[in-house]
Amino acid sequence: MRIEIEHLYKSFSNSKVVLEDINFCDEVTSLSVVGPSGGGKSTLLRIIGGLLSPTSGSVTVDGTKLVQDERHLIQYRREIGFVFQQGGLFHHMTGRENIIRPLVSVHGYSEKDAADRADELLTRFGLADDGHKLPAALSGGQRQRIAIARAVAPNPKLLLLDEPTSALDPEYTTEVLNMVSELSSTGIRFIIVTHEMGFARKACDKVAFLQGGNVVEYGVSQEVFSSPATPQFRQFLGKMFEWS
């Protein structure tokens, strides 16, 4: 999938500039976005996901430019899966209903097909016994895995994950990242914002390092991580691995 970003700016009403002239053009299969907090990672992911409109600039996906009005964005979002850092599952629905409802109401599945699809995904990811529970009764890791299952259920053309493990205890981080990696191996394209450097390096083809609203460094993960070209990324990695 080809993603093209041109002269993308985003500032919020408090006039803080979050993204400053982002330019990007590449095929995306598995991309990690890393960088310090406040660097604009989540904002960029939301713009790519059609959840947020840029102040100026454009995003083009597979040759089609994103039109920034609600009617077009709804259509676009339906082809994208999005996973939030936390609290993305609907609180009042069981995990299973969380998967079924959008399939039926948005993607036109019959109730039965949607239920079959939900059960198939829950079973595949070891969640068969947890589907009937409300999110509040699930562990953080189970919640995130169901959120991912909900996002991939309608076979989106791109999966976007916004720090899916940042709110989790370390023991749950692995099970969530394993699931992303497994999905990736079955051909799902994804962009992940993450602080898990090991995952960014080993499970993602490409990495973008975002700092101060700019893409400071971009390239093939294996190369960029072993020999960072910029002092900023080197310094960032130094901090990330200080205690590991």
Partner 1 sequence: MSLASSGSLISRNEGQDNMNLFIEKEGKKAAPLIAALNIVIVCAAIIAFFWVSLAIIDLKFDFSFLPKYRNWILNGFKTSLGISLLSLVLSLLIGILSAVGTSSRILALRYFCRGYITVIRGTPLMTQIYLFYYIIGTAWGIESRFISGALILSIFEGAYISEIIRGSYLSIDETQLEAARAVGFNRRQTLRFVILPQMVARTVPALAGQFASIIKDSSLLSIIAVVELSQSFKEISTSTFHLFESYFTLGAIYLCLTLPISFISKRLERRFYYEN
Give min distance, CB of 79 to partner 1, in A.
9
Answer positive or negative: Cα dihedral of 234, 235, 236, 239.
positive
Pairing of strands 158-162, 190-193: parallel
| Strand order through the sheet with 2-11 | 17-27, 2-11, 56-61, 64-65
Q: Which stretch binds partner 1 (CB under 8 A): 86-94, 113-121, 173-181, 190-198?
A: 86-94
Candidate residues 28, 58, 72, 90; the one interacting with partner 1 per rule CB under 8 A: 90
Give min distance, CB of 71 to partner 1, in A.
9
Q: Which is nearer to partner 1, 128 or 134 (CB)?
A: 134
Q: Note whether 215 and 35 are within 8 A (CB).
A: no
Q: How many whole angstroms separate alpha carbon 207 and alpha carbon 224?
A: 8
Q: Which is nearer to partner 1, 5 or 161 (CB)?
A: 161
Q: Which is nearer to partner 1, 39 or 49 (CB)?
A: 49
Question: 193 has which bridge partners?
Answer: 33, 162
Looking only at residues 196 through 235 of this chain, which bind partner 1 when binding is defined by CB under 8 A? Answer: none
3-class secondary-structure state, position 71 = helix
Q: Which is nearer to partner 1, 45 or 215 (CB)?
A: 45
Pairing of strands 17-27, 2-11: antiparallel
Closest CA to 77 of 89, 61, 93: 61
Q: Which is nearer to partner 1, 101 or 201 (CB)?
A: 101
Using rule CB under 8 A, residue 195 touches partner 1: no
Q: Which is nearer to partner 1, 42 or 221 (CB)?
A: 42
Instruction: Please work out, in degrees rounded to the nearest 5, the angle formed at the alpha carbon of residue 54 by the alpha carbons of 50 and 57.
Output: 110
Q: Note whether 11 and 55 are within 8 A (CB).
A: yes
Give min distance, CB of 105 to partner 1, in A.
6
The site string for partner 1 over 115-154 (x = CB under 8 A, - otherwise) reads: -------------------x-x-------------xx---
Q: Note whether 29 and 23 are within 8 A (CB).
A: no
Q: Which stretch binds partner 1 (CB under 8 A): 29-37, 70-78, 115-123, 234-242?
A: 70-78
Q: Which is nearer to partner 1, 92 or 234 (CB)?
A: 92
Q: How many whole angstroms separate alpha carbon 224 and alpha carbon 228?
A: 5
Run of H or E residues at 61: strand 56-61
Q: Which stretch binds partner 1 (CB under 8 A): 22-30, 97-105, 183-191, 235-243?
A: 97-105
Contacting positions for partner 1 (CB under 8 A): 49, 51, 74, 77-78, 80, 82, 84, 86-92, 101-102, 105-107, 134, 136, 150-151
